[in-house]
Amino acid sequence: MDLVSTIIPVYNRAAMLREAVESVLAQTYRPIQVLIVDDGSTDDTPAVADSLAAEHPGTIRVLHQHNTGPGPARQAGLEASSGELVQFLDSDDLLLPDKFSREVAALRNDPDAGIAYGIALLRDEATGWTAPTHGTDVGHRELFPAVLSARLWPTAAPLYRREVCEAIGSWADLRVLEDWDYDCRAGLLGVRLCYRSEPGAVIRRHGHDHAGLAWQRNPVVWRDRVAAFERVFGYAEQAGLGTDSPEMRHFARSAFLVARQCGAAGLPAESARLFRVARRAAGGEGLDYLLYRAGAFVLGWTRMGRLSGWLDSVRS
């Protein structure tokens, strides 16, 4: 009943994977279980994962699968795990040694809470600079409405009761922002949070390829980014958030920015779709939306997006 299962999806990160796993093994809490999901790696990551499992046969298990992206990989690990408590960990991040001890105790002491979390630290591997990230230096009791503006944590921060993960449902098949989608669905369930003001995870800025930035270079991931915004807006409507709330206004501005970026990236259909979402989230026909739609009608969504990007660069 007290087992914590840690699920680590990995794609072509052999050295960082070993460090991530070591941070789980260094937890002061027991019992633990580690599920490594090799998501179709093409380097020596599968061999490193298998060697870790051989070194810790009672604790680490490896799943090998074709590349599906982070969400389905986490879901595969979740379904193969058996812990009553669940930790998701990206392969380039780390857990601090007392994370499980503190957060398991927090959940025991707060039976109404379904998720425990604490401070996540962003660390620049080149300089050593470290600071709290994703606003985790401030605690929340509920996800909505704050999660509409931005995620309340990076993936490594929360510790879930398994029943919460099962109620949320499967991770979305998105290549980006799948974690935001997951958070919002937890928010729709009314899941309560318990917050510990101590650091529990380290998010490493390492200069290597980062899956969360893939939208900048891959049209397929661009489309997933748009889909994620559409889904999150749907969740906000289900939660009953009005267009006059500060969180919805923030969401509308973000969606409008991404719509313009889509146009500049040569994705006119996605730009138009997300523009409509942004306009609805803003509550109607604001002047900036009217002007942009008129410009897109004359120039097209791609040229208008590129013009908007150029104007933004001039203003900055």
C-alpha 239/C-alpha 237 separation (Å) is: 5
CB atoms within 10 A of CB 142: 14
Beta-carbon contacts of 193 under 8 Å, excluding residues fewer than 6 positions away, are 113, 114, 115, 116, 117, 139, 140, 141, 142, 143, 152
Query: Could you tell me the domains of the chain?
Result: 4-208 (3.90.550.10), 213-315 (no CATH)
Q: How far is CA 270 from CA 150, 222, 286, 312, in A?
A: 21, 9, 21, 20
| pLDDT for residue 314 | 86
Q: Is 116 left (phi over 0), alpha (psi -120 to 50) or beta?
A: beta
End-to-end CA distance of the chain: 54
For helices 268-282 and 301-315, give the axis angle rounded to 10 degrees.
70
pTM exceeds 0.75 for this model: yes
pLDDT by residue for the chain (316 residues), tens only, comes to: 799 999 999 999 999 999 999 999 999 999 999 999 999 999 999 999 999 999 999 999 999 999 999 999 999 999 999 999 999 999 999 999 999 999 999 999 999 999 999 999 999 998 999 999 999 999 999 999 999 998 999 999 999 999 999 999 999 999 999 999 999 999 999 999 999 999 999 999 987 655 444 435 577 899 999 999 999 999 999 999 999 999 999 999 999 999 999 999 999 999 999 999 999 999 987 889 999 999 999 999 999 999 999 988 888 7
Beta-carbon contacts of 313 under 8 Å, excluding residues fewer than 6 positions away, are none
| pLDDT for residue 208 | 61
| pLDDT for residue 153 | 97
Q: Which of 46, 63, 19 is nearest to 208 (CA)?
A: 19
| pLDDT for residue 213 | 46
Please name the helix (run of DSSP H) or strand (run of DSSP E) that holds residue 206, with its range, or none.
none
